[in-house]
């Protein structure tokens, strides 16, 4: 939940009724937040009983109201059976899920009443980290509302909109997709003044005939731009021209590019990489700006240029934004560093377990290469399957062998049948262990790990690599944690 940023309610009963066309049964209550999950629901939230892939939210209405929800939005056909549990807003039956339709309407109402400057972010890799960076730098300049976690799909976007307070000065929304035409309705809900495409890579390629088709799907984000809005594009990406064509065909007033390309509007003149930080010497629309990132990795530094391009496009304070990037923290599973205390010394764990694709794994390996190890320390990569890569998946895994060698990785531990292709392509000296599941790697990894090592864990969500991270943290005391990632892997939807 993102609470209202002043003392006024997020939604009044009249406003909810007007937005949804629904009717109140029981007490009419003002609302302070919104939720679709009883596990994270906060007192005063409006609980949306949407139909999930597995469960129907109507089955949890009584629990939500019992946990302190202010009211529940339910379909008209189920309302009478649920009124004993507490106040409900019964909405008419439209579409496959009337409650989801109602949440979309509330989201649109939130956008219509808002005077915030709104940014939409998409990209195959790094969009969640970039969204969090924008939240971070803009929060220092005014009330800022942004997507929680990776809430970037057909329910995450309207839920995030429905949570946006009328007092917000800035709104930052992440938009993702697995298939063509998924971004289009979401960007039209968000109606951004600035739309950023971080990069285009072969992610979820099994659902597309080519990477160019992925670029076309990402280009849908510009269809929702407010008239005269700004399209922010990665000038270094090979699909820049294709995305620019989409932007020019939309309501974009101008295109702002970023990268190391000499024609970039926001250009990195020099990037100094250190094990725990980066320094970026940049030119932002002709204005020299030098800033420090309290994080490692060339990919993080390049994504920060996109952040600066958005800040400039919004007319926000560029100097303040640059200063604030030094204190940026990564989203969970996207580069958090944890000290692992063991007999004889300390090893370092780099948690990149949230998700993975070829570009993100290469970036993570490059970052691992820059980490200083202790005496006798080794660089260890623990990798799980990269999913949704289609028929080319075995080759895409196997092709990472060169990146492993280039990063100076000493040992690779591989989980899953796809990552086995990479494992078998490596010289024997780099093979740590291979297993069918992530859990099966915990014992051989912990037997191998020693003080001075740096171990990086990465894989797609379905590979469950987070279990290895949890096991290492549980086994070894971790009094110090350092967060240093901006452009982490792709979110649930790319």
Residue with tokens 């999950």: 37
Are 251 and 301 contained in the same domain? Answer: yes
Cα(361)–Cα(215) distance, rounded to whole angstroms?
20
Are 18 and 135 contained in the same domain? Answer: no
Tell me which H or E stretch contains 401: helix 401-406
| C-alpha Rg value of the chain to the nearest Å | 23
Under the banding of pLDDT at 50, 70 and 90, the label for residue 152 is very high
Could you tell me the CATH number of the domain that includes residue 196?
3.40.1190.10
Position 160 pLDDT exceeds 60: yes
The mean pLDDT value for 134-142 works out to: 97
Cα(171)–Cα(48) distance, rounded to whole angstroms?
22
In a domain, 491, yes or no: no
pLDDT of residue 480: 47
Cα(108)–Cα(208) distance, rounded to whole angstroms?
30
Lowest-pLDDT range, 175-179, 202-206, 225-229, 461-465? 202-206
Are 71 and 119 contained in the same domain? Answer: no
Are 131 and 177 contained in the same domain? Answer: yes
Cα(98)–Cα(110) distance, rounded to whole angstroms?
18
> In this structure, what token pair is assigned to residue 223?
């269809």
pLDDT of residue 401: 97
Cα(416)–Cα(384) distance, rounded to whole angstroms?
6
> In this structure, what token pair is assigned to residue 181?
């035409």
Position 204 pLDDT exceeds 50: yes
Query: How many separate domains does the chain show?
Result: 3
State pLDDT tens for residues 421-477.
999 999 999 999 999 999 999 999 999 999 999 999 999 989 999 999 999 999 995
In a domain, 5, yes or no: no
Are 266 and 144 contained in the same domain? Answer: yes
Are 263 and 409 contained in the same domain? Answer: no
Cα(469)–Cα(476) distance, rounded to whole angstroms?
11
Domain C-terminal end among 102, 127, 157: 102
Position 1 pLDDT exceeds 70: no
Are 156 and 91 contained in the same domain? Answer: no
DSSP code, position 39? T
Cα(43)–Cα(398) distance, rounded to whole angstroms?
50
Whether 121 and 198 have beta carbons less than 8 Å apart is answered as yes
Structural domain of residue 306, as residue ranges? 114-327
Could you tell me the CATH number of the domain that includes residue 451?
3.90.190.20
pLDDT of residue 492: 43
Q: Residue 145: beta bridge partners?
A: 171
Give CA 410 to chain center in angstroms.
30
Give CA 265 to chain center in angstroms.
25
Are 279 and 137 contained in the same domain? Answer: yes
State pLDDT tens for residues 303-360.
999 999 999 999 999 999 999 999 987 666 888 888 999 999 999 999 999 889 998 9
Are 175 and 312 contained in the same domain? Answer: yes
Cα(362)–Cα(51) distance, rounded to whole angstroms?
37
In a domain, 354, yes or no: yes
Are 313 and 359 contained in the same domain? Answer: no
Closest CA to 219 of 235, 202, 242, 203: 242
In a domain, 341, yes or no: yes
Closest CA to 146 of 334, 333, 5: 5
Cα(193)–Cα(120) distance, rounded to whole angstroms?
8
**What angle (nearest 5°) sits at the alpha carbon of residue 234, between those of residues 232 and 236?**
155
Q: What one-character-per-residue DSSP string does 405-467 give?
A: HHTT--EEEEESTTHHHHHHHS-GGGEEEEESSSHHHHHHHHHH--TT-EEEEE--GGGTTHH
State pLDDT tens for residues 37-76.
999 999 999 999 999 888 999 999 999 999 999 999 999 9
In a domain, 489, yes or no: no
In a domain, 108, yes or no: no
Percentage, residues of the chain above pLDDT 70: 94
Under the banding of pLDDT at 50, 70 and 90, the label for residue 276 is confident
Percentage, residues of the chain above pLDDT 90: 82
Domain C-terminal end among 327, 346, 369: 327
Could you tell me the CATH number of the domain that includes residue 48?
3.40.1390.10
Under the banding of pLDDT at 50, 70 and 90, the label for residue 222 is very high
Whether 95 and 296 have beta carbons less than 8 Å apart is answered as no
In a domain, 314, yes or no: yes
Task: Indicate the burial class of 449 (C-beta count within 10 angstroms; 0-12, 13-18, 19 or more).
Answer: buried
The mean pLDDT value for 259-266 works out to: 98
Whether 134 and 166 have beta carbons less than 8 Å apart is answered as no
Are 129 and 254 contained in the same domain? Answer: yes
Cα–Cα distance list, 413 to 380, 382, 383, 422, 465 (Å): 8, 5, 6, 10, 11
Residue 124: strand, helix, or coil: coil
> Which pTM does this prediction carry?
0.86
Are 171 and 303 contained in the same domain? Answer: yes
Residue 283: strand, helix, or coil: strand
The mean pLDDT value for 276-283 works out to: 91
pLDDT of residue 490: 30
Whether 353 and 381 have beta carbons less than 8 Å apart is answered as no
Give me the numbers of helices (H) and strands (E) for the chain, helices first please. Answer: 17, 21
In a domain, 377, yes or no: yes
Domain C-terminal end among 281, 297, 327: 327
Position 478 pLDDT exceeds 70: no
> In this structure, what token pair is assigned to residue 15?
């406003």
């Amino acid at each position: 939940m993102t609470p209202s940023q002043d003392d006024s309610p997020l939604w009044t009963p009249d406003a909810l009724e007007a937005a949804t066309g629904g009717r109140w049964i029981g007490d009419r209550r003002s609302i302070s937040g919104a939720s679709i999950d009883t596990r994270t629901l906060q007192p005063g939230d409006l609980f949306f009983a949407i139909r999930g892939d597995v469960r129907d939210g109507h089955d949890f209405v009584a629990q939500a109201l019992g946990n302190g929800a202010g009211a529940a939005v339910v379909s008209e056909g189920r309302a009478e059976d649920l009124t004993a549990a507490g106040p409900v807003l019964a909405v008419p039956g439209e579409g496959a899920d009337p409650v989801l339709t109602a949440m979309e309407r509330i989201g649109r109402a939130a956008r219509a009443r808002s005077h915030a400057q709104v940014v939409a972010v998409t990209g195959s890799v790094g969009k969640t980290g970039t969204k969090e960076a924008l939240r971070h730098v803009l929060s220092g300049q005014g009330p800022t509302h942004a997507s929680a976690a990776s809430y970037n799909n057909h329910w995450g976007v309207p839920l995030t909109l429905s949570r946006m307070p009328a007092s917000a000065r800035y709104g930052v929304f992440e938009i993702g997709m697995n298939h063509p035409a998924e971004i289009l309705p979401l960007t039209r809900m968000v109606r951004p003044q600035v739309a950023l495409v971080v990069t285009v890579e072969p992610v979820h390629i099994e659902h597309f005939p080519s990477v160019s088709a992925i670029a076309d799907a990402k280009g849908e984000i510009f269809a929702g731009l407010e008239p005269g809005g700004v399209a922010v594009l990665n000038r270094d990406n090979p699909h820049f021209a294709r995305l620019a064509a989409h932007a020019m065909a939309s309501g974009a007033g101008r295109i702002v590019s970023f990268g190391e390309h000499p024609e970039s509007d926001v250009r990195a003149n020099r990037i100094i990489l250190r094990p725990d930080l980066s320094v970026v010497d940049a030119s932002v629309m002709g204005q020299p700006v030098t800033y420090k990132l309290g994080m490692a990795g060339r990919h993080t530094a390049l994504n920060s240029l996109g952040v600066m391009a958005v800040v400039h496009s919004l007319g926000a304070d560029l100097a303040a934004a640059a200063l604030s990037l030094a204190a940026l923290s990564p989203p969970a599973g996207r580069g958090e560093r944890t000290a692992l205390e063991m007999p004889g010394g300390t090893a370092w764990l780099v948690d990149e377990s949230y998700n993975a694709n070829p570009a993100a794994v290469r970036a993570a390996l490059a970052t691992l290469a820059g980490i200083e190890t202790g005496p006798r320390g080794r660089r260890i990569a623990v990798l799980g399957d990269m999913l949704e890569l289609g028929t080319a998946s075995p080759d895409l895994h196997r092709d990472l062998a060169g990146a492993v060698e280039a990063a100076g990785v000493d040992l690779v531990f591989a989980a899953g049948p796809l990552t086995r292709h990479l494992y078998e392509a490596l010289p024997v000296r780099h093979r740590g262990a291979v297993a069918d599941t992530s859990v099966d790697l915990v014992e051989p990894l912990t037997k191998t790990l020693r003080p001075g090592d740096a171990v990086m864990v990465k894989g797609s969500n379905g590979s469950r690599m987070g279990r290895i991270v949890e096991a290492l943290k549980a086994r070894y005391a971790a009094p110090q944690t350092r967060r240093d990632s901006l452009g982490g892997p792709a979110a649930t939807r790319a």
